[in-house]
Structure 1
C-alpha cells in the first residue's frame, strides 16, 4: 500500500520571488587546474639558433610524440626538449643523440639545460588557459558552449525564472506535502511542461527512491510503469470527477492526483504547464540509441522514449543506483538542490564524467545566491 498523504497542505514560507541559480557540475578536466609535467628546457645563446634547432627537434623529437602538442615549443630563448620522465638510464645528452639529433645541435642544446614544469594537458576553458599562460605559452581553442556552462551564461533571464518556478514548486511539495521526503519533477524542455512528479516511496520498497519513482511515472505517460499496483491509490479512482480526464487524456498520467489537484488550484503555480507528449509509435531501441547524445533532437524526431530529452529536477543529489538509472533513461539534464552523503554526481564522484558510459547527461546544482552549496544531507 502507498503511504497515507492525506494531511492538509501547509504554506511554505519561502520568498516567491527568490531567484535560483543553476550551477553546472563540470567534469574535472573543466573544473580543476591543469596538472604539470616536468620537462627539460634549453636556453639558447641567441635567436639565430632557433630556426635550425627547431627544424631538427620537430623532425626527430616532435611535441606530438610526447603528448605536448598543446604547448608552444619556444618561449623567447627557452626551448622544450623532452619530458624528464622519458629518460630512463640515459642522461639528456645520450637521449638526444639516441633520437637522431646531430652532434652540433646536441652541443647547442646541452649547453644550458634546466628542469621546468609545464602544463601537462591542453586548457579546456579560458580560465585554465590564462592560468597556464603564466607558466608556459599554450595553444587554445575556445569552446563557447562549455564556457557558457562554466560561467552560467547558458541560461537567459526567462530560463532562470523558469528554474526558480520549478524549484519553488518542488520544495513546496517536498516540505508541505511529503514531510521533507526527497521529491522530483520531470520537465519537457521544449514545452516547459511537467511530465511527471514523484517523491520517495522507500517505505514500500528500498529501491523506490525518488528518481526511480520519477522514471516510473514518466513511463506511465508512455503506457508503461513497473509499480502500478504498489502506488495505485496515488492515482485516480474511477469515481473521481476531478481526475476523470486522465482516462481520455493520459498526458497527465505521470502526476499523482494530489500533486495534480494542488498545481491546478494553487495560484502560485497557475502558469506552470502540465502534461507529456504521447508516444507516436512503437520504436525500436536501436533507432534512438544510434543518436543517444542528440537528446532533444531525438525527442523532437521520435517523440517520448523513456526520459530522452527530458530535464529532471531533484530535491537532493541522486545515489549511484538512481544516477545510473537516469543514464539508462537517457535524461538530458539533472538539476538537484542539496548534496547527499552518498551522492553520485559530485559528493562521492561524478558519474557523468565517466567517458566509457554510452550516454552522458549534464548536471546542475540549484541554489540561491549566497547559499552554501556544499551542505550535505545525511538521509
Structure 2
C-alpha cells in the first residue's frame, strides 16, 4: 500500500497554486548596462512583496546567451488596462515603454519585449519550485517539515507497522459490524497518538438499534462509524449520547474529546464526520479507501481550510486494497 498526504491546494504543483500573472520582460542590449537598468527599475517599480522573484534571467539561444529583465509584474506595477496597452504595443511592434516617462533613461538599453508569466506566490514545495522555473526563475527555501509531511518521510518503518496494525483492527471491527448488518461495513479505531493505546473501536450503526435511554432502542441515520467512535471517546470521558459499553475500549480520561488522538478508519469519512472530527480537535486521521462523498481527499479537504478553527494531518491509502474489499 501507498501512503499519501491530504494537503491543501496551496501546496499543489498547479498553475492555480502558483498564481501566475501576466508580466513584461525584455532583453538587455549589453550586460554592462544591467546595474543601471536594475537601479532604475528598483526606484520606479520595486519588487515589494515579491522577494522570491528574480529580476533578471539568462536566456540561451543559438546566437549566445543574453539577459532578460523583468520590467513589469502584472497588476503589481500596472493597471489591467495599462498592461493591455503595452501588450498591444508589442503586437504592433511599438516599444511598450514609449508612454512611460519614468523609464526614459534606460529605454535605449532595452529591446525585444516579450510577455511572460510570473508566479507571485513563493513556492512552498520543490515540485512547485521546479514548475515555477518553467515560467520565470524564483528563489526557494525548503521547509523540511513541510517536505517530510508531503512525501510522508516523517514516518519510520516502526510507524508504518503501527499504522498497519491499527488499520487491521479497524478492518476486523468492520467485519464484526457486517455480521450485525450488511451495511455496517466501515470500521474505526481511535488511539492515543503517543502511547498507541486503543481508546475506542466502532462500526457503522445506522441500521443497528442502540440504547438511547433505559429500554429505548433506536437505529439512528447519523450513526456513521466515525461519529460512533467520537461518541465513544466522549463516553470514556463521562459524556456520550448512547450506551456503547460492549464496543468501548477505554484507556484515557484526559483528552478534550479527541485532542492528541489519532483515528484509523477503513473508508474516507463523509463531510459530516470530517466536521465532527474537526470540532473534536482530532490530531491525525488515517483512512484506507476513498469515498466519493468524502470530506478529505475526495472533495473539500476540510482538514486544510484556513478559515476553520482547527487544522490537522490526514493520510490516505493504509491497507487500501483490504479496506476496499469490505
Measure how far apart 1:181 and its partner are: 2.1
Partner of 1:104: 105
Asked if the contact 1:167–1:313 (Cα under 8 Å) also holds between the matched residues in 2, the reply is: yes
Q: For 1:367, what is the secondary structure of its paired residue?
A: coil
Partner of 2:283: 332
Quote the Cα distance in structure 2 between the aligned partners of 1:84 and 1:153.
Answer: 38
Measure how far apart 1:136 and its partner are: 2.3
Superposition pairs of residues 225-236 of structure 1, within 5 angstroms: 225-227=240-242, 232=243, 234-235=244-245
Asked if the contact 1:182–1:200 (Cα under 8 Å) also holds between the matched residues in 2, the reply is: yes
Q: Which residue among 216, 232, 241 is the counterpart of 1:217?
A: 232
- Tell me whether 37-46 or 131-140 shows the greater mean CA deviation: 131-140
Provide closer, same or farther for how the CA distance between residues 184 and 96 of structure 1 changes in structure 2, counting only shifts above 3 A. Answer: farther
Quote the Cα distance in structure 2 between the aligned partners of 1:366 and 1:146.
Answer: 19
Gapped regions of structure 2 (runs ≥ 5): 59-66, 87-94, 208-218
Asked if the contact 1:119–1:132 (Cα under 8 Å) also holds between the matched residues in 2, the reply is: yes
Quote the Cα distance in structure 2 between the aligned partners of 1:211 and 1:347.
Answer: 17
Instruction: Provide TM-score, normalisation by structure 1.
Output: 0.69
Provide closer, same or farther for how the CA distance between residues 332 and 133 of structure 1 changes in structure 2, counting only shifts above 3 A. Answer: same
Quote the Cα distance in structure 2 between the aligned partners of 1:69 and 1:372.
Answer: 48
Measure how far apart 1:89 and its partner are: 3.7
- Tell me whether 49-58 or 33-42 shows the greater mean CA deviation: 33-42
Asked if the contact 1:338–1:376 (Cα under 8 Å) also holds between the matched residues in 2, the reply is: no
Partner of 1:80: 70
Partner of 2:302: 351
Partner of 2:154: 154
Quote the Cα distance in structure 2 between the aligned partners of 1:82 and 1:43.
Answer: 13
Partner of 1:42: 26
Asked if the contact 1:218–1:306 (Cα under 8 Å) also holds between the matched residues in 2, the reply is: yes
Q: For 1:115, what is the secondary structure of its paired residue?
A: strand
1:122 aligns with 2:122: yes
Asked if the contact 2:304–2:312 (Cα under 8 Å) also holds between the matched residues in 1, the reply is: no
Asked if the contact 2:189–2:202 (Cα under 8 Å) also holds between the matched residues in 1, the reply is: yes
Instruction: Provide TM-score, normalisation by structure 2.
Output: 0.80
Q: For 1:347, what is the secondary structure of its paired residue?
A: coil
Measure how far apart 1:130 and its partner are: 2.3
> Cα RMSD (Å) of the superposition?
2.6
Q: For 2:285, what is the secondary structure of its paired residue?
A: strand
Quote the Cα distance in structure 2 between the aligned partners of 1:376 and 1:74.
Answer: 55
Quote the Cα distance in structure 2 between the aligned partners of 1:95 and 1:214.
Answer: 65
Quote the Cα distance in structure 2 between the aligned partners of 1:120 and 1:88.
Answer: 16
- Tell me whether 51-60 or 32-41 shows the greater mean CA deviation: 32-41
Provide closer, same or farther for how the CA distance between residues 332 and 219 of structure 1 changes in structure 2, counting only shifts above 3 A. Answer: same
Cα distance per residue 1:23-45 (max 9 Å; x no partner): 21111222332443321011011
Measure how far apart 1:137 and its partner are: 1.6
Measure how far apart 1:177 and its partner are: 4.1
Asked if the contact 1:39–1:115 (Cα under 8 Å) also holds between the matched residues in 2, the reply is: yes
Runs of 4+ in 1 over 3 A off after TM superposition: 83-98, 106-109, 176-180
Partner of 2:213: none
Cα distance per residue 1:183-229 (max 9 Å; x no partner): 211110111111111112222112221111111100111111122xx
